[in-house]
Structure 1
Amino acid sequence: MLLFVGCIFLAVSAFPYLVYGFGIIFGKKTGVPPTLNRLPFVSIIISAYNEANVIQRRVDNIALSSYPKEKYEVIFIDDCSDDDSFSIAEKAFSDAHMSFKLLRNERRCGTNRSYNRGLKSASYDIIVTTDADVFFEKNALKYLVSRLVSDDAIAAVCSDMFPLPSSEIHRTGKYEQKYRSVYGGMCGWESAHDSTYNFNGGLVAFKKDIFSEIREGKGADDANTAFEAIRRGFRAYYETSAVVFEEIPENLKGQSRQKIRRATRLIEATLGNLDVLRISRPFSRIFFPLRILMFTVSPLLFFLGIGISVVGLLISSVSIIYVGIGIGLILGILGLSRFAQSFVVNQYYLLRGLLRLGSDVSVWESTSKKGDNI
């Protein structure tokens, strides 16, 4: 009986993932963004804290983008770094011969408030926010902005994100690569039908006339931007052809800090925007309820189901235990063990995120090593 109850809990916890798996395989796809005859002017806002080791590479990466330099300005906001981030950024932007503005916060503000300060200084109507320690593919910015301005119904767009190739040699990078390959497909499926709020903060573009500011309360700034677009009747789009890379911490402790912080902010944004459920559109009727179940109910049921199932196995016959071992071996032979491990680890991060609700994670510290091998 206990084994049966445990399996029921596990089945319910897996339900939203099975729905999304079906959608990824058989559902509508986003397609390639349209090609624009003329790219618009954009303001790129970067908020940074202690990024001295990567600023030069980051500026070089932006300069190598296929987006024309004369079509953008960069607003760099130093969030009270205690290293040389500000002075290095000033020299790097000057040497790159691009239009830029440098701002320095008088006290630690965090991402949301820093971006809002940058918004007030922005010269153009298309706003791009990006992290200081991520790296674009050459056409990422062009694809992102092209999707944004291709449809008046789209108010915000984010890029896909993967680990830097150098990160994939580590176990943490391999797990994150597997997770991201599924994550992007889920968000792409949502976007093809309506909208997603599961934005990556590495690269986001939105229309300034729709967003005068980013919510500074709890929750991920990128998710809150997407929610605001949806609340106002617009679409929030996940552009899978625009790719950004980030470095993944090599050790599990560093990755856990990063993932738990992100999970906490995403869950806070989810629970802080439940009013969107009242809107009559596919996002509110289908995708958002599944996401609520995925982020708040599934982790609890998953680990509860695991515990009950283990107890049920221990008091069951030996033959049932052999069946469980056999299923595990089959998963390994089919190459599903890494995916299964990634799933379990993700449930752990979500559970830890749930337990951290109420703690202040708005003022961040980077978890990447920012070494010379980036």
Structure 2
Amino acid sequence: MVTAIPLTVYFIYIIAALTSKSKTPIPLENYPLISIVIPAYNEESSIADRLNNLADIYPKDKMEIIVSNDGSEDKTAEVARKAIDNNYLQGKVITYPRSGVNKAINRGINESSNDIVVITGADGLFDEKTIPDLLSVLLSSPDIGAVSGDLIPIAKGESVFSNSEAAYRSIYGKICTWESKVHSTYCFNGPVVAFKKEASSILNTRRGADDASMALSVIKKGYRCQYVPSAKFYEYVPDKFYEQRRQKIRRSTRLLEATFFNRDVLSASCGKFKTIVFPLRILMFFVVPTMFFLSIILWTAVLALINPLYGLGLIALIILIVISGSLKPNILSSFIIYQAYLFLGLFNMLRDVHIWEPTERVKI
């Protein structure tokens, strides 16, 4: 049973990923008015490039920019204002004391004046199709309340940790696409999210990832949340163990919090989301990591009773699988690493992680 549960859950997801195909969004005939909210903390080195990027890919007269400066201690606000002016953008910078990304997003949304809001990060890039494809799917049906796109990891060096991200992302979007076809996915990528204001709710400022919490609130209000693989966000990912471990455990913790503190979605009227998608995610996030490592311990003990070398051989095999990810991205190596992140994230839920220091910024 301990081994069967992880195998069964991931067998379902692998089949879902292999059989899931995404549709190409229909090109927009008219670009709608949108507000773009960018939460920022100490983004002096990246915010100008981000705003230059947005100015190049969407009509300036259809776009309002709101940089929600979360108590930056550098020149983020000054650089952002200058970039807004230099690009002749409609927008502003709002500055408040440091309080975390969720509150910064709430403040940005409150300051926005359009019915459609795009949330994005201050340290990555969109391509020319990102926003149009997001909006095409968002506006394709009145029951779609929010959409998210695909995150493309960019690393300045290769390691088992940066390669694990590439392998993880190769299947992540396919699972989210399958969940979207079933009903909805709430595993959004925070830097590439768009939603209708009428479908959104205020984010909990202390608990839960902003992207997952937003999606779950939309689903609870009776709307669907869709994944748009063609809408890309290019993001630098750390290649060093310490940096990636810190980032991934924080993200795992926030995703676990969003899932746990929005479990009342199980009492909402949201069809197959509450009967299929959400229960599977609960198993994936809370049960599988624990069962996975427990099964390793039990199998190691059983094999060691037969012959100590067998037990050592199992541990050596697992280590080799993880290390193999440094040579070539592969799902097995990524799976083991991400089970560790989720398992550590379970314990990290006991801490308050709504405020954190950003990882290293590198120009893409």
TM-score category, normalised to shorter length: over 0.9
**Is this contact kept in 1: 2:129–2:231, CA < 8 A?**
yes
Partner of 1:286: 276
Aligned to 1:259: 248
CA distance in 1, matches of 2:349, 2:78: 36
Contact 1:111 1:221 in 2 (8 A): yes
User: How many Å apart are 1:114 and its aligned residue?
Assistant: 1.1
Structure 1 residue 139 and structure 2 residue 129: aligned? Answer: yes
Does residue 358 of structure 1 match 2:347? no
Shift of 1:355: 0.3
Q: Which residue of 1 aligns with 2:120?
A: 130
Number of residue pairs matched by the alignment: 360
The residue that corresponds to 1:75 in the other structure is 66
Give, as a single letter, the amino acid of the residue that structure 2 aligns with 1:241: S
RCO comparison, higher one (Cα < 8 Å, 6+): 1
Match of 1:161 in 2: 151
1:176-325 matched pairs, under 5 angstroms: 176-211=165-200, 213-278=202-267, 279=269, 281-317=271-307
- Distance 1:324-1:100 versus aligned 2 partners, 3 A rule: same
Give the corresponding residue for 2:81.
90
Query: 92, 95, 99: which one pairs with 1:104?
Result: 95
Match of residue 119, structure 1, among 92, 105, 109: 109
SS of residue paired to 2:198: coil
Superposed CA offset, 1:311-352 (max 9, x none): 1111225896799699889989x9998321110110000011
Contact 1:24 1:189 in 2 (8 A): yes
CA RMSD of aligned residues (A): 2.5
CA contact (8 A) 1:119 1:213 kept: no
Are 2:38 and 2:122, in contact at CA under 8 Å, matched by a contact in 1?
yes
Q: 1:12-51 residue pairs with structure 2 within 5 A?
A: 12-27=5-20, 29-51=21-43
Cα distance 1:80–1:306, how it changes in 2: closer, same or farther (>3 A)?
same
In 2, the alpha carbon distance for the partners of 1:68 and 1:170 equals: 39
User: Which string of whole-angstrom CA distances, capped at 9 and with x for unpartnered residues, describes residues 192-226 of structure 1?
Assistant: 22101111101111111222533334101111111
Partner SS for 1:352: helix
**CA deviations over 1:224-251 (Å, ceiling 9, x no partner):** 1111111111101111110101111121
Structure 2 CA distance for partners of 1:99 and 1:340, relative to 1, 3 Å: same
What per-residue deviation string (whole Å, max 9, x for no partner) do you get for residues 85-142 of structure 1? Answer: 111111111111111111111x212111111111121111001111111211221111
How far apart are residue 170 of structure 1 and its match?
A: 4.0
* Rounded Cα–Cα distance in structure 1 between residues aligned with 2:88 and 2:159: 36
Contact 1:264 1:350 in 2 (8 A): yes
C-alpha separation between the residues in 1 aligned to 2:308 and 2:203? 57
Shift of 1:359: 1.3
Partner of 1:58: 50
Distance 2:311 2:352 in 1: 44
Q: Are the equivalent residues in 2 in contact too, given 1:51–1:133 (CA < 8 A)? A: yes
Checking the alignment, whether the CA contact within 8 Å between 1:48 and 1:78 is kept in structure 2 is: yes
Q: 1:280 to 1:99 in 2, by over 3 A?
A: closer
- Give the Å deviation of 1:168: 5.8
Name the SS for the 2:349 alignment partner: coil
The 3-state SS of whatever aligns with 1:64 is helix
Equivalent residue for 1:4? none
Distance change >3 Å, CA 83–CA 319, structure 1 → 2: closer
Cα pair distance change 1:204/1:313, threshold 3 Å: same
d(CA) in 2 for partners of 1:300 and 1:319?
25
How far the C-alpha of 1:77 sits from its partner, in A, is: 1.3
2:208 and 2:309 map into 1 onto residues whose CA distance is 48
AA matched with 2:120: T
Shift of 1:158: 0.9
Q: Tell me, which stretches of 5 or more residues in structure 2 are unaligned? A: none
Runs of 4+ in 1 over 4 A off after TM superposition: 317-332, 334-337
Equivalent position SS for 2:204: coil
Alpha-carbon separation, structure 2, partners of 1:60 and 1:133: 12
* TM-score of the two chains, using structure 2 as the length reference: 0.92
**Cα shift at 1:270:** 0.7
Q: Identify if the C-alpha distance between structure 1 residues 206 and 285 changes in structure 2 by more than 3 Å, giving closer, same or farther.
A: same
Instruction: Flag the 1:150–1:198 CA change in 2: closer, same or farther, 3 A.
Output: same
Q: Do 1:55 and 1:132's aligned partners in 2 also have CA atoms closer than 8 Å?
A: yes
Q: Residue deviations 1:285-310, cap 9 Å, x none? A: 01111100110011111111111111
Residue type at the aligned position of 1:186: I
